[in-house]
Structure 1
Amino acid sequence: GRTQNVMAAYEEIVSASIPVATALAHLVSAVGFAFWYRLSFQKPRPAPRETVQELRPEPILMGLGLGILMAVFSSGTAGLETLLFPRMVEDTYAMLEQSGIGTNYMVIFATVILAPIGEELIFRGLTMKYAEKAFGRFWAANLLQAFLFGVAHMNWVQGVYAFFGGLVLGWVAHHYKSVVFSMIMHFAVNSFSTFGGDYALGWIPVNFLSVTLLIVIPAALAVGLISWRTAAAKKRQALSQSVSA
């Protein structure tokens, strides 16, 4: 009767407000933490020209490449979770669908554009920097921010691969000494997952062999890229020190 009509209208209002609330939350988060980050870690602040000059092709391509590998790894991880915990994954996807992720343009904008900005400032910016000051070790700070990044997704399906993605994002921010490049990687992850994932990976059957390959291959490539860049950076540093000596 009347109670059912009221409840149906209430649910419709709540459902319609979720995309707007999601976009506003990401926008407020991005702006607010941008101010906090700038006041905390940018003294003296670099000139805009110096910031633009740091956007070299190599770290940009590195971020984009690692982002795509991470998106494939995430698909494999989600596929494995689907095989092991089908009910949990089904409920999570139903919740995400209700929130408008992947369908509502406001949520897509928030996910692809605003989330990489706000979340990188929070986790790879403020959290990792303060944790590194407290622990004195990058690896400990990276583990903490990645764990909190996984928890922040508030579900196991996304939380598991968000943790591993957070580790790589932390390395990118630390290696290139800027959250700009981890933002680029984060943008690549969310863009591929939102726009290209179904087209590129949707044809792959969900079985243990396929999901294992989707996990192992991108993980191995990502580790290889990170190891290569780390070794190259150490070699350049040693060469620089020998020249100055």
Structure 2
Amino acid sequence: MKKYFYVIPAFLAFLLILGILYCVPILLSYTLIFFFGYERAYTLYMDHITAVSMISYLIALLPSAIWYHLAVGRKKGDHKKTHTLKPSHFGAVILLVFALNHAISLLLSILALLLPHATMAYDSLVENGGMTAYSLTWFLAVIVLAPLAEEMIFRGLICHYLKKTRMPFVAVNMIQAALFGCFHMNLIQGIYAFILGLFLGYLAYRYRTVKAAILAHAVFNLCGTVLTALEAAFLSPSMQTTIILLSLPLTYIMLNVIRDQTAD
């Protein structure tokens, strides 16, 4: 029974990042209201929403990185259990994420038909949440800090502690992915975050390093924003559809490539 107590620090790690990323924006908004009044504060907040996100993730990253280093990073002998990411590994991860991003876009199209109201709420979140407000602060928040902080928690600490319960990898991966989906607090985003979490957990497991998940997460965020916008601007609808359909077999192929790369 003692081994199941490791579920507690896993859940605390989840609460840590959840609490920081939802409390910091609230504190910042009340600070702005105190100094500028409600209307001016609202305008400032929305005009600098990516800066708010960057600050929130920076604050979340500090305790996450320290905790990860103390619990996982400095353990003796860990380097012997870790695969070094080679150039071929980078290519495999990037191709997998490219395919997965387009496969998930197919899922989003299906969800738009099945859950139109939830999809409208998600579209509003994307539009008002600064996810496509490209700038240096956007890059730091979405491509750098978010993958670092979230991976150290979900594929790092949570997986680390759940493994100590002697759960099989499948159970560990399902739990951390479910928490990752819940973390996004939006039905549509939660569904695809759960799927993404499964793949990120698999990559961290196969390569035996959270660095693989960090790389994949960063590339996924880049593909889901910049690449999607570029494809919409420069590719015909038929070409986009072709890429989406080809992404399904490509995802399967790249999973097999990664399995072969990491076979002991």
TM-score, length basis structure 1: 0.79
| Aligned 8 A contact 2:89 2:258 in 1 | no
- The 1:109–1:159 alpha-carbon spacing in structure 2 relative to 1, beyond 3 Å, is same
Q: How does 1:196-215 map to 2 (within 5 A)?
A: 196-201=227-232, 203=235, 205=237, 210=241, 214=244
Does 1:173 find its partner at 2:226? Answer: no
- The answer to whether 1:23 aligns with 2:54 is yes
Classify the secondary structure of the residue corresponding to 2:53: helix
Q: Does 1:94 align with 2:124?
A: yes
Q: Which runs of 5+ in 2 are unaligned?
A: 1-36
| Larger displacement relative to structure 2 (128-137 or 183-192) | 128-137
Report the Cα offset of residue 205 of structure 1.
4.8
Letter in 1 for 2:58: L
The corresponding residue for 1:57 is: 87
Structure 1 residues 108, 229: closer, same or farther in 2, change over 3 A? closer
1:69 and 2:69 aligned:
no
Aligned residues: 223
Match of 1:240?
Answer: none
Contact (CA 8 Å) 1:67, 1:187: kept in 2 or not? no
Shift in Å, 1:141? 0.4
Tell me, in whole angstroms, the C-alpha distance in 1 between the residues paired with 2:236 and 2:193.
22
- The match for 2:152 is 121
Q: For residue 141 of structure 1, give the secondary structure of its aligned residue in structure 2.
A: helix
Please identify the structure whose Cα radius of gyration is greater.
1
RMSD: 2.9
Q: CA offsets, 1:124-179, max 9 Å, x none?
A: 11111111211431111001111111111111221111111111111110111101
The correspondence of residues 1-245 of structure 1 with structure 2, limited to 5 A, is 8-42=39-73, 43-44=75-76, 54-105=84-135, 106-201=137-232, 203=235, 205=237, 210=241, 214=244, 217-231=246-260, 233-234=262-263, 237=264
| Distance in 1 of aligned mates of 2:229 and 2:100 | 15
Contact preservation (8 Å) 1:132, 1:140 = no
